[in-house]
């Protein structure tokens, strides 16, 4: 597999993961952290980090909006449940 194809596949998988998480708003970040060791916010942080590595300037809020498909505060208000 050539590098360009691998990158396209990885990008498609990332988009699929984001879409899957978007369809599973019932799964809270704390659940993801407890079970998988990462959450939606981690994905945003990783995105920012990789942008920095590539010389791109993306804020954490912009990255989280990409992950949550809306501003984080809006997602938090609509979908985040109290921690039990």
Here the CATH number for the domain that contains residue 60 is: 1.10.3340.10
Do the domain assignments include residue 10? Answer: yes
Residue 84 domain-assigned (yes or no):
no
Please say whether the beta carbons of 63 and 51 come within 8 A: yes
pLDDT digits (tens, 9 = 90+) for 63-73: 999 999 999 99
Helix segments in 28-69, DSSP class H = 29-36, 40-53, 60-68
How many domains in the chain?
1
User: Do the Cβ atoms of 35 and 19 come closer than 8 Å?
Assistant: no
The domain of 18 spans 3-79
33 domain residue, yes or no: yes
When pLDDT is cut at 50, 70 and 90, the band that residue 82 belongs to is: confident
Residue 7 counted as domain residue: yes
Residue 42 lies in a domain: yes
Residue 74: CB atoms within 10 Å: 12
SS3 state at 70: coil
Question: pTM here?
Answer: 0.89
């Amino acid at each position: 597999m050539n590098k360009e194809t691998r990158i396209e596949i990885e990008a498609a998988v990332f988009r699929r993961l984001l879409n899957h998480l978007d369809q599973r708003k019932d799964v809270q970040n704390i659940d993801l952290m407890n079970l998988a060791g990462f959450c939606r916010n981690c994905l945003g942080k990783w995105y920012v980090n990789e942008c920095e590595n590539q010389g791109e300037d993306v804020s954490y809020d912009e990255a989280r909006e990409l992950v949550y498909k809306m501003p984080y505060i809006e997602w938090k208000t609509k979908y985040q449940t109290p921690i039990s």
